Amino acid sequence: MKARPIVYALLSALLFGVSTPAAKALLGSTEPAMLAGLLYCGAGLGAAVFRRLLPAVASGGLAQQAALTRKDLAWFAGAIVAGGVVGPLLLMLGLARTEASAASLLLTLEGVATALMAWFVFHESFDRRIALGMACLVAGALVLSWTGTPTLKSLIGPLAIVGACVAWALDNNLTRKVSLADPLQIVELKGVIAGPFNILLAWWIGAMLPAPLSVVMAAVVGMLGYGASLALFVLALRDLGTARTGAYFSTAPFFGAAVAVLALGDPLTPQLMVAGALMAIGSWLHITEHHDHPHTHDAMAHDHAHVHDEHHQHDHGVEDLGEEPHSHWHRHEPFEHAHAHTPDEHHRHRH
């Protein structure tokens, strides 16, 4: 397994997990729908600024990323609608009609829905080890979110939350389709489109902007917990595929709870320790995966940041020469070989 994308996925989960208690602290002064909009706006504006500063302070591969293309727009538009509009709207509808204990448990279904959709709709490869690891990670999230026996007073709220999980699962799988593009551009566009939409939705239901300090704090939380987290999530998607990245991201609630223990003085409960153990087992099963067999690479042509490894043996024009990793349009000729791999962009073959 490649270590770097695993680190990206876990850092993504860490940033999002830490942002959860920070966002909860802001809810006292900000209506939930308005807060969602401010968080997305902070993510988008932060990515926009950093994306424009990066070429001035970096050179070579760090600054070279492929831009979204016209063929990416349908996938990306679907991801924005599913994850930035439908998901938050269904969640708000569900939270208003569901007990907190039941809502926390239902939200763990996002990881399950993401994996099932990746495996059976988008035909991403998996085996019993990966399925067992996913089950351990989800079980850990369920243990962590258990706050008492939940009751379902009506079906509308729980069904809306399940719908939100499915919407975010679709978002994750559609984002995988454009994951070779510049992650900062993905975050920027998602934030500046979904953020204002959610703010307008909040105004429509009667919410008002909070005090300026709360707006700034929400923007900072959004920039780190949503923007940087999403950029790292996209980088992990490139090499790990949707289900595996989603599995690592399922550790986010544990990171949030651990930070609450270390920084806020929350008690270290048996519940947290059991959840941590289950998530550690699940992560170990994924990290130690070894998937190796002869496979055929079909011909393809695309643009993304790359180095000249065994999958990128192609000719260059004068304009394409430069420090690696670099980005340019290139073609892959068909060939067959065997090595350990994950379902990244170059290994989407059937099994």
- pLDDT tens digits for 153-167? 667 878 888 898 899
Q: List 327's β-bridge partners, or say none.
A: 305
Q: Has residue 295 been placed in a domain? A: no
Which DSSP symbol is given to 228? I
CA distance 69 to 71: 5
If you average pLDDT over every residue of the chain, what do you get? 80
Question: For residue 147, is it within any domain?
Answer: yes
Residue 316 lies in a domain: no
Packing angle between helix 252-264 and helix 3-26, nearest 10 degrees?
60
Asked, for residue 61, whether it belongs to a domain, the answer is no
Q: What CA–CA distances, in Å, run from 235 to 65, 139, 176?
A: 11, 26, 10
Considering the domain boundaries, does residue 153 fall inside one?
Answer: yes
- Residue 140's pLDDT is 86
In this prediction the pTM is 0.80
Residue 308 lies in a domain: no
Number of domains in the chain: 1
Helix (H) or strand (E) segment spanning residue 141: helix 128-145
Its domain, for residue 10, covers 3-56+72-290
Instruction: Tell me the residue type at 103.
Output: A
Alpha-carbon distance of 193 to 78, in angstroms, equals: 12
What CA–CA distances, in Å, run from 217 to 17, 29, 42, 46? 17, 11, 9, 13
CA dihedral 113, 99, 233, 282 (to 10 degrees): -70
Cβ distance 281 to 163 under 8 Å?
A: no
The answer to whether residue 311 sits within a structural domain is: no
Q: Which of 69-78, 88-97, 195-204 has the lowest mean pLDDT?
A: 88-97
pLDDT greater than 50 at residue 2: yes
Residue 299 lies in a domain: no
